[in-house]
Structure 1
Amino acid sequence: MLTAERAIAAGLMALSAYFMWHASALPIGWNGMTGGPGGGAFPFWLSAIMFAAAGGIILRSLWVEIADEGPFFDPETLGAVIAVSVSLVVTVALMPFAGAYIALPLFLLWYLKFYGRHGWVLTLSITLLTPVFLFFFFEVTLKILLPKGWTEPLFIPLYAMFF
């Protein structure tokens, strides 16, 4: 189990370094012209945090003696990891066609209600408020456009209102 933990942490560190390298192609600091962070700021710094967290996992595994509890994934956990991974791949595949404002709420609806078995009030609250938050945070505040796919014409009145 310890070997698997270290291997996954090392893989996350490599993936984080790759993401930071690509994000640094865009400005990662404060952009004085637009009055906000550069286009690569959030991907870069979130990847840096992921890199540090994975490094912490490796350091902890070296300093703390962890009892070997058997396989890293039992069959039930492996099924859950596969189900969520497949749903995330489907969500990413939907984004160019349906857009972020359709794909993400569909993922949240599936994850919260059908996979997590949460109540309808919580599920619908998060599912409906997340796209609203994302629109105002990314598009209105940061001026970073998210993919909209076939829903692009529905945003024209909002663009007229906020831009």
Structure 2
Amino acid sequence: MQTADRMIALAIVAMSAYFMYYAWELPIGWNGETGGPGAGAFPFWLSLIMAFAALGVLLRSLRQERQLTRFFSDRALRPIIAVTLALTVTIFLMPLAGAYIALPLFMLWYLKIFGRHGWILTGILAVATPVFLFFFFEVTLKILLPKGFTEPWFIPLYAKFF
């Protein structure tokens, strides 16, 4: 397990360095012409964060003393399969129902049913996440997310923000 952790962490660090190298060719600072970040800003900074996270995994694996004998236990496999299936359904729903329906449905399932959290936390996150995503991607970055059959519902918002 430690060898696998180290190999994957080193591969992620190398991949992050590769992404940062090519993102550096694009402007990574604030672009005064468009009033937003340069085209390389998000790939560069996210790759840097990914590299730091992988280095943390590498350091943790170097400090561990005991070897784990099994990669997955039987108890861990069932939740992994459940979340993978739920994410597959969410990705399938994106072009049909849109991101603003598919993501809250996934969050409702993940928080309430899978995670057994309370209705208040589940409701707040299921509503706040699509609102945040709309303002971050569509209003701030001008990146349109898939809306599926909900596209007409956004026409009044487009008239207000664009």
TM bucket, shorter chain: 0.7 to 0.9
Change in 2 beyond 3 A, CA 1:114/1:11: farther
What corresponds to 1:36 in structure 2? Answer: 36
1:46 is paired with a residue of what secondary structure? helix
**Mapping of residues 10-25 of structure 1, within 5 Å:** 10=10, 12-13=12-13, 16=16
Q: 1:4: Cα distance to partner?
A: 3.0
Q: Which amino acid aligns with 1:132?
A: V
Cα shift readout 1:48-79 (whole Å, capped 9, x = no counterpart): 211221123124323x2421133132111122
1:87 equivalent in structure 2: 86
CA distance 1:16–1:105, change in 2 (3 Å) = farther
Instruction: Give the number of aligned pairs.
Output: 162
Query: Paired residue for 1:125?
Result: 124
Judged with a 3 Å threshold, the aligned counterparts in structure 2 of structure 1 residues 19 and 116 are, in CA distance, closer, same or farther, namely farther
Contact 1:100–1:148, Cα closer than 8 Å, also in 2: yes
- The equivalent residue for 1:3 is 3
C-alpha separation between the residues in 1 aligned to 2:25 and 2:106? Answer: 30
Q: What SS does the aligned partner of 1:144 have?
A: coil
Q: Report if the CA contact (8 A) 1:39-1:144 is conserved.
A: no
Q: Which residue of 1 aligns with 2:135?
A: 136
Task: Assess, with a 3 A threshold, how the Cα gap between structure 1 residues 98 and 8 changes in structure 2: closer, same or farther.
Answer: farther
CA drift at 1:147: 1.9
Aligned residue number for residue 49 of structure 1? 49
Between the aligned partners of 2:154 and 2:81, the Cα distance in structure 1 is 34
Give 1:105 deviation, angstroms: 0.7
Q: 1:81 to 1:28 in 2, by over 3 A?
A: farther
Q: After superposition, where does 1:69-88 map in structure 2 within 5 Å? A: 69-88=68-87
Describe the SS at the equivalent of 1:109: helix
Matches of 1:49 and 1:116 in 2, distance apart? 27
Residue number in structure 1 paired with 2:147:
148
**TM-score normalised per structure 2:** 0.82
Question: Residues of 1 paired with 2:142 and 2:127: CA distance?
Answer: 21
Distance 1:70 1:161 in 2: 58
Cα deviation, residue 25, structure 1: 8.4
Q: Which residue is equivalent to 2:110?
A: 111
Structure 1 match to 2:67: 68
